[in-house]
Amino acid sequence: MAVPRAKTSKAVTRRRRGVNMHLDAPQLAECSNCGNLVRSHHVCPKCGFYRGRQVITPESNG
């Protein structure tokens, strides 16, 4: 069985693991009703539409 010659430092271990543990930016798509950028498979907070139909009534801020 192979035995490591020396202890792997915390910096080396964390550098190796950190490559795969990053956050990706959310995928945005245009709302088909108002053109606002929305996350995929989510209701548009601006107009309240999802897949071409009104799902919620948007809150009016003002």
What pTM was estimated for this model as a whole? 0.57
- Find the length of the chain: 62
Residue 1's pLDDT is: 82
Residue 61's pLDDT is: 59
Under-70 pLDDT residues of the chain: 60-62
From the CB of residue 3, how many other CB atoms can be counted at a distance below 10 Å?
4
Residue 62's pLDDT is: 47
**DSSP structure class, residue 61:** -
Residue 24's pLDDT is: 86
